[in-house]
Amino acid sequence: MLDFITQKKHDESRQGEAFAPEQAGVQQFSKRFYIESYGCQMNFADSEVVASILQEGGFGATRNYEEADLILINTCSIREKAEQTVRKRLTDLRKVKQNRPGALIGVLGCMAERLKSKFLEEEKLVDIVVGPDAYRTLPSLITEAEGGQKAVNVLLSREETYADIAPVRLGGDGVSAFVSIMRGCNNMCSFCVVPFTRGRERSRDAISIVNECQVLFDEGYKEVTLLGQNVDSYYWVDESTDTIVNFAQLLEKVALISPLLRVRFSTSHPKDITDEVLHTMAKYENICKYIHLPVQSGSTRVLQLMNRTYTREWYIAKVDRIRAIMPDCGISSDIIAGFCTETEEEHQETMSLMEYSKYDLSYMFFYSERPGTLAARRYEDDIPEDVKKRRLDEIVHLQNKLSHESNVRDLGKTFKVLIEGDSKKSGNDWKGRNSQNKMLVFPKGDHKVNKGDYVMVKVTDCTKATLLGEIV
């Protein structure tokens, strides 16, 4: 997402990256697919489901789109810029079609769902358009497209969770994996396109989630991130025993797989996160002490217009509760600058709530009106672009200060770190995260440790986004 300003999200550093598993075994397949993903972690997880469906259908993955028979882009609609990025990319991919007329181009994900067959009118070289709930029909859509027809399936489902599909892990580090626990969203935040592109909320079978995490652990993975737009509303009924599994119980089940398997999750909604979840986090060392708790705005009036269904005071009480139950918990946020009718005072309220919450990290955006949303229909997008950008700049500036202060508070502390691999800058350094989701970089030295191991690291220094330290 290009309008994302300072820090890169775990997944945002991967925007548009192409993935194929190391052991893709391209030779055994007669045809090859190439997939590129944009947007949130859910989209990256979905691409792994798509890869599994395609491999069943006889396609092997490739990292080189020039040799692909099928080029897929898994798209995001969250802000206008996200869609512009995809359109630009489609223009590039068009050239491939000129060189390889037989190659098919498919658009998956949220933009496919939002634009439906309009996509085919707007982008003539697209052959296949598939929404997030229709990936099982990809093989037959491909056959249709190979026959020269344009193929579209954008039906949303109330049941589909792809629970039985074992995702093919694409381009990961072999240490950390995403596991989708639910799909869709019922919240109807007025600015948000997700309920329209992803449909109704539904929770995935808990048994299949725990199985998937167990398999990952058996394969050597050390960290799973449970994904949903609003994980706290996870709710699944085990009909064989007539018992309910809520999110806290699901977390516990996954945490019990092994103390060596770290458990993370995203995203929590301030209105739904419960004390039961917080106590479960506190009880298990391997449930990471980190909560992404998007506030969006610090003004109760704006929150009401956003249909977030909590107030500034409610949010503050949640932050207090987290700090009371887990004093060492990291908290991050999403913030929207310049929502419809936001006043200067209300913008200041967002800043003061950021100060209060002492966010370690925030993902910050200016408001981008999305067609069809409640806000687009009800409110005028009346904050001039220069004002939106100035407010966003102030928010980013403040967050940089808060992130730095948070890092300075960690100087001298020792953390348990899961090694994810070589640091970006040097093969002589490891990188890895602590429980609070902060990235640490430290020299390998003579220590006999490897990717996927846990080490204790003492923080000696910090940069804006990273803690620097040494193994103790």
192 in contact with ligand SF4 (CB under 6 A): yes
Instruction: For residue 200, give the amino acid letter.
Output: R
Is 462 labelled a binding residue? no
CB atoms within 10 A of CB 25: 11
192 in contact with ligand SAH (CB under 6 A): yes
* Pair type for strands 414-422 and 429-433: antiparallel
Rg (CA), the chain: 22
- Under rule CB under 6 A, which residues in 263-282 are in contact with ligand SF4? 269
29 in contact with ligand SAH (CB under 6 A): no
Phi and psi, residue 324, nearest 5°? -70, -40
Single out the residue of 43, 197, 208, 230 in contact with ligand SF4 (rule: CB under 6 A).
230
CB atoms within 10 A of CB 365: 23
Say how far apart CA 274 and CA 281 lie, in whole Å: 11
370 in contact with ligand SAH (CB under 6 A): yes
191 in contact with ligand SAH (CB under 6 A): yes
- Under rule CB under 6 A, which residues in 215-274 are in contact with ligand SAH? 229-230, 267, 269
187 in contact with ligand SF4 (CB under 6 A): yes
Which part of the chain contacts ligand F3S (CB under 6 A), choosing from 2-10, 70-78, 115-123, 305-313? 70-78
Q: Min. distance of Cβ 239 from ligand SF4 in angstroms? A: 27
Residue 11: both structure tokens together: 């997944």
Which part of the chain contacts ligand SF4 (CB under 6 A), choosing from 157-165, 184-192, 313-321, 379-387? 184-192
Q: Tell me the three state secondary structure of residue 27.
A: helix
Say how far apart CA 376 and CA 100 lie, in whole Å: 41
* Pair type for strands 31-37 and 18-19: antiparallel
Is 40 labelled a binding residue? yes
Which part of the chain contacts ligand SF4 (CB under 6 A), choosing from 30-38, 192-200, 396-404, 421-429? 192-200
198 in contact with ligand F3S (CB under 6 A): yes
Q: Tell me the three state secondary structure of residue 69.
A: coil
248 in contact with ligand F3S (CB under 6 A): no
Burial class (CB in 10 A: 0-12, 13-18, 19+), 412: exposed
Single out the residue of 7, 18, 39, 294 in contact with ligand F3S (rule: CB under 6 A).
39
Say how far apart CA 255 and CA 281 lie, in whole Å: 9
Which stretches of the chain bind ligand SAH, using CB under 6 A?
Answer: 78-79, 191-192, 194, 229-230, 267, 269, 294, 296, 334, 336, 365, 367-368, 370
Which stretches of the chain bind ligand F3S, using CB under 6 A?
Answer: 39-40, 42-43, 76-78, 109-110, 193-194, 197-198
